[in-house]
């Protein structure tokens, strides 16, 4: 009696997505093709300091995923960090990571920059992730990290441009770096941690609180101005989406309804990976 061998089931592709910012690396593990709203199998973050040296801890972590893992990344931390990551991945015995670059168009999004490559890869990935998660909606994306970026995406998927300013912590650090009197009255460089920013009153009663108040309220004021300008430009109100470490401090200062979504760049990477486009 003969028996037919059943075909082996194909294992879903495992992809480690990495959003490498100026101070942190956020990651998520995707199993199989991406679908809107999909939960990642795992996710986390690490400080870029962990890539320094030979990155042995990260190397060991990557090796646990097995040799079939793919790595998909966007990086705004510079060429040195990219080289470090490539070395760590190679020593872990994995295939080279693929880095997304900003292009003129991808996944239903059209780049608004005259020179598309000048748009940060993290912003590009976030625009694609936002378009995927909110199809047919005009969106104002605000990411508040070391820098604060604002990008406007219209309902047709066209990027209308954006703005960049220092994030609140960087504003505080810059002020303390270049003004000895304020630094002394604020309590030294430790004031740059911004821990009191969310509670800081506009008319503060000590220098440390005054510096924090100015930083977060300057950021909030620009967001409100961006929303007012976007209404005029589009003829409708875009959906405001906040992300980043300082979003909790700025959000309560805004009158506009907003959503908190911290994974848009990772979701954009997932969309691009699933489409097999825009890679090196």
Residues marked active site are found at 122
Provide the angle, in degrees to the nearest 10, between the axes of the packed helices 79-91 and 56-63.
50
Question: Which ranges constitute the DSSP H helices of 47-179?
Answer: 56-63, 79-91, 121-133, 168-178
Q: H or E stretch including 20?
A: strand 14-20
> How many other C-beta atoms can be found within 10 angstroms of the C-beta atom of residue 49?
9
Structure tokens belonging to residue 172: 């505080």
CB distance 158 to 112 below 8 Å: yes
Structure tokens belonging to residue 210: 């005054």
CA distance 62 to 224: 42
CA distance 193 to 14: 37
CA distance 143 to 121: 13
């Amino acid at each position: 009696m003969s028996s037919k061998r059943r075909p082996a089931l194909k294992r879903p592709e495992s992809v480690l997505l990495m959003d490498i910012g100026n101070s942190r690396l956020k990651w998520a593990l995707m199993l199989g093709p991406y679908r809107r709203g999909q939960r990642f199998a795992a996710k986390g973050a690490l400080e870029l300091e962990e890539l320094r040296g030979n990155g042995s801890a990260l190397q060991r972590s990557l090796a646990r995923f097995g040799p079939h893992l793919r790595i998909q990344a966007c990086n705004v931390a510079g060429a040195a960090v990219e080289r470090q990551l490539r070395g760590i991945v190679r020593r872990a015995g994995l295939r080279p990571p693929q880095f997304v670059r900003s292009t003129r168009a991808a996944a239903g999004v059209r780049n608004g920059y005259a020179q598309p490559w000048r748009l940060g890869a993290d912003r590009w990935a976030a625009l694609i992730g936002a378009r995927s998660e909110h199809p047919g909606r005009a969106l104002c994306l605000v990411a508040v990290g070391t820098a604060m970026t604002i990008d406007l995406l219209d309902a047709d998927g066209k990027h209308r441009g954006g703005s960049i300013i220092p994030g609140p912590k960087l504003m505080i650090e810059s002020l303390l770096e270049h003004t000895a009197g304020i630094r002394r009255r604020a309590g030294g460089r430790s004031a740059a941690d911004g821990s009191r920013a969310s509670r800081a009153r506009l008319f503060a009663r000590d220098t440390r609180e005054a510096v924090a108040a100015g930083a977060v309220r300057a950021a909030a004021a620009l967001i409100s101005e961006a929303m007012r300008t976007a209404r005029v430009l589009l003829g409708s109100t875009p959906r405001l989406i906040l992300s980043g470490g300082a979003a909790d401090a700025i959000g309560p200062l805004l009158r506009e309804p907003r959503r908190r979504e911290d994974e848009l760049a990772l979701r954009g990477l997932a969309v691009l990976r699933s489409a097999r486009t825009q890679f090196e």
